[in-house]
Amino acid sequence: MSTKKWLSFFTQVQWLKDKYLTQQQFVVALSVVIGFLAGLVALVLKNLSYFIQWLINESSISFYTNKYFFVFPLIGLLLVYFIVKYLFKKEVEQGIVGTLQSISKKKSLVNQFHRYASLVTAPITVGFGGSVGLEAPSVISGASYASFLSKTFRLNQATRTLLVGCAAAGAMASIFKAPIAGIIFAIEIFSLDLTLASMIPLLTASVTAILTSYFFLGNETILQSVITEDFDIKDAPFYILLGVFAAFISIYFTKLYFFAVKQFKRINHKINRIILGGISISLMLALLPALYGEGYEVINQLMRNDFSEAISGPLNNWAKESVWLVIATLLLLLLLKTLATSLTVAAGGVGGIFAPVLFIGSLMGHTFGLFLSQLGLITKETSITNFTLVGMAGLMAGVMHAPLTAIFLIAEITSGYVLFIPLMITSAISFFVTSQFQKHSVYTLELAENDELVTHNKDQAILTLMDINKVVERSFIPINVHSKLRDVVEKGVTKSSRNIFPVVDNNSKFLGIILLDDIRGIMFEQSMYDQVLVSDLMQQAPEIIDIEKSRMKEIMNKFQQSDAWNLPVVKNGVYEGFISKSKLLTAYRQKLIEVTV
């Protein structure tokens, strides 16, 4: 369809909306469309990834590829690099972090480039064996469609943010066939306000996405588990210990992930990053093939009490000599999966950490269950399955700081709530312990460090969303430090309605200020005009705002602590203007209206 026809179509829809629908009804209608698109995006990503894996591992060419399958992550990373550099010519953001940044700094306008970028690069990364998941690319791709529709129909920022949340809920619901978990995921991760106005669109998008998944895939689910043993109260202490174990693994995951990303950023050339990361992942794959791709098949086998796939490869025969060696191998796989995920992202792969967290959590829970079984503390074999499931929730709660999402996701994929109590115990403890050492999740840590994180704290959220550049006033007349009182009066006072004058050097570097009150007693004594120097009159500013480093919360604190009405703004030491308290408060009120309407 041509651009002209698209514009005509959207114009007609806008007319129908204005004539027949209220704003809330139109948002609900849009949430249906967004839920369908998010579900479709998730299906496309999954099927493209599985198709690539099928070509490598099971098609007629697998005879040539199976022997050297472990080199494919390096090939995948190279393909992604060349596609991004020569075809897209711009970086592909990591899904959920990129979406959160769009909400906080871009008024929920997600780059339309992501409507197709992740659809190409993420399946290549995962299909060729990169240790990342497809959930985050599904979220940002769906969010870009939500942003596009919101912008087309000129919806306000609050509604755009809600519809981006609808896309996230739809993507997660479609992938896991877990509509409630999808809704809670959007609320917890994107800090959406839980109101009746927001709940209906989120519910509609989630249901639409899951219906889309059922239409194309039937009853097939990515995680398959049915609980065969109920929770026994005597196992409660073990689930408490599992929560503590999950917390420490969560901290390990987050620390290693950001350490790898930061270290790889120091490597100047991206090809060098890819070679180093790709070779490292390939070596780990050669040792433990279970590290290949997302790893959902391994998770499903662990939930069936079958760990043969998890320890396949060179360690297979060695590990099976005793259960203790199996436990040691599973722990090694757990540690290396975290490293493989970190290296995949750091080297330039496109994908998220959702699937790896589930993978590592299942390994953690299964290993914990095997350990208890060997000690004779649990006797029923099926108990290990329960620990495997609860382990996934515990790690999600710790790494993502999303305990409710963790609880409801595992409850929904097991088709029942018999594990609700152990899920709550382990998730709550994991989240609490982790948050004592790691205040922010793996999704929000970098944003929080840059003061770009939108949270459920309304005041903090408004400050984060405000743009400092829009409150800088530049109508103040700067005075050169080498000038005299005459210049202050003739070039400043007589031509300005302001009562404060910035003092700068010949390179416009900010040095201080002169207040009108400071010269009021001598400004009419012309005999002093050429005797008094600006350097004698100026004083230090009570606080200075650096436009590149200072965040809104810090700026507010500077006004409060200094009790000043105007504060100077600099950029690399060069004078830029002033921010006034009145202008700042006006901008705050305006932003509050924008995001709550």
Mean pLDDT comparison of 224-228, 241-245, 311-315, 347-351, highest-scoring range: 241-245
For the cut 60, the answer to whether the pLDDT of residue 3 exceeds it is no
For the cut 90, the answer to whether the pLDDT of residue 15 exceeds it is no
The answer to whether residues 306 and 156 touch, using CB atoms and an 8 Å cutoff, is: no
CA distance 259 to 401: 19
What is the edge-to-edge ordering of all strands in the sheet holding 566-571? 545-546, 566-571, 574-580
Q: What is the pLDDT of residues 37-64, one digit of tens each?
A: 999 999 999 999 988 888 887 655 555 5
Who has greater pLDDT, 83 or 230?
A: 83
For the cut 70, the answer to whether the pLDDT of residue 312 exceeds it is yes
The answer to whether residues 100 and 129 touch, using CB atoms and an 8 Å cutoff, is: no
Is the sign of the CA dihedral 464, 468, 469, 473 positive or negative?
Answer: positive
Mean pLDDT of the region 264-273: 89
- For the chain, the C-alpha Rg in angstroms (whole number) is 29
- What burial class does residue 3 get, using C-beta atoms within 10 Å of its C-beta: 0-12 exposed, 13-18 middle, 19+ buried? exposed
Q: Report pLDDT for 212.
A: 92
Tokens of 213: 């998944």
Tokens of 61: 């060419």
Helix (H, G, I), strand (E, B) or coil at 572: coil
Mean of per-residue pLDDT scores for the chain = 83
CA distance 552 to 529: 40
Tokens of 435: 């948050």
**397 Cα distance to chain centroid:** 15
Mean pLDDT of the region 93-115: 80
CA distance 96 to 136: 5
Who has greater pLDDT, 181 or 450?
A: 181
Write down all domains in the chain, each with its CATH number in brackets.
3-217 (1.10.3080.10), 233-456 (1.10.3080.10), 462-596 (3.10.580.10)
Q: What is the pLDDT of residues 398-456, one digit of tens each?
A: 999 999 999 999 988 877 678 889 999 999 999 999 999 988 888 877 766 666 555 55
Which residues are registered as beta bridge partners of 577?
569
CA distance 565 to 403: 44
Q: Report pLDDT for 455.
A: 52
Amino acid at 573: G
Ranking 249-258, 437-446, 580-589 by mean pLDDT, the lowest is 580-589
CB atoms < 10 A from the CB of 370, how many?
21
